[in-house]
Structure 1
Amino acid sequence: MVRRDAAVAAMALVFGAAAAYESSKLPFGTVHNPGPGFFPWWTSAVIVLLASILLFQALRSRSSTAREGPGRIAKVAALLVALSVYTFLLDPLGYPLCTFLLVLFMLRATDPQRWAVALSMAAITAVGSYIVFAIWLSVPLPRGPL
């Protein structure tokens, strides 16, 4: 697992650096008036940063604490199904309710949290992201029946 993490991190680092180089050829713009290279450059910079951290951790670690098995595969499959259901229910139920239900499911199914923690984190995530995107950034999100 450690070698696999290091290999994936190295590949992400190479692709992130290549993307940063290519996006630097585009006009960058400013924070208040971003150009076509602004978002790709910052995205690739974050990829390079996170890949570097993962590579450092993978090379420093001697053994893996994560275990692969049918339980982990079932959790990944459940998350894929949940994300698929989320996309289909987003328009009829709306962003806040669907996001609340998705985060609640993720916190209870993948790494079971107490109900109080799961409910509060789901509510904070749904309301907080709605405020940021719909109100602050004026992104049109499905409102649903609520």
Structure 2
Amino acid sequence: MERFNNDQVSAAIWLAVAIIICLSALRYDLGALASPGTGFMPFLAGLAIALFSFIGLVHGTLRRKQGVGWKPSMRGLKWEKPLIVLAALFAYIFLLTPLGFSLCTALFIGFLLRTVKPQKWFVVMAGSILTALGSYGVFELWLKAQLPKGPWGF
């Protein structure tokens, strides 16, 4: 029987990442709850990752005791769709400034909805337009973030 299973190994890696995040956040001022410093949110994020990875480690240990061992995780994977998503993300990055946030976001979501898990055209159009409008409303109007405007001013 193997010493570790997949869940234990991945949880241990995430626990190490969480420790690195927390230690790195300690280099900045944590502040207090009433007035948090620059390291407060990264430290909390590291604690959250540590908590979930610890839960995963316990879960993986219990599964190993039930007889679940190591399984090759990369065998039989289909890489076509993840590579399409990665290419779409790079295209989004390069087209964001020339096309603007709203148009580029609508095209990106529409492309993903049509190619990764093909949807009907109505769903593609509605999903991409609603996502672009919703994200514009949240980031530009509510949070007052400065988003790239395309040649049409939106």
1:84 pairs with 65, 69, 90, which one? Answer: 90
1:25–1:133 Cα change, 3 Å: same
Q: Distance in 2 between matches of 1:77 and 1:102?
A: 15
Paired with 1:131 and 1:69, the residues of 2 have a C-alpha distance of 41
| Structure 1 pair 38–51 and aligned structure 2 pair: CA distance change class (3 A) | same
- Which residue number corresponds to residue 19 of structure 2? 17
Could you say what secondary structure the match of 1:35 adopts?
Answer: coil
The match for 1:113 among 106, 119, 128 is: 119
Q: Which position in structure 1 is the counterpart of 2:39?
A: 37
Report the alpha carbon displacement of residue 25 of structure 1 after superposing the two structures with TM.
5.3
| TM-score (structure 1 length as normaliser) | 0.72
Match in the other structure for 2:10: 8
> Percent same amino acid at aligned positions?
35
Partner AA of 2:46 in structure 1? S
Q: What root-mean-square deviation, in Å, do the aligned CA atoms of Structure 1 and Structure 2 show?
A: 3.3
- Structure 1 distance, partners of 2:58, 2:123, is 32
Report the alpha carbon displacement of residue 14 of structure 1 after superposing the two structures with TM: 2.1
**Shift in Å at residue 94 of structure 1?**
0.5
Partner deviation per Cα, 1:77-127 (whole Å, 9 max, x = no partner): 111111111111101111111111112222222223333333333233222
Higher helix share: 1
Show the counterpart of 1:122. 128
Query: Which residue, 43, 47, 50 being the options, matches 1:48?
Result: 50
Give the count of matched residue pairs: 143
CA distance in 2, matches of 1:49, 1:33: 24
SS at match of 2:29: coil
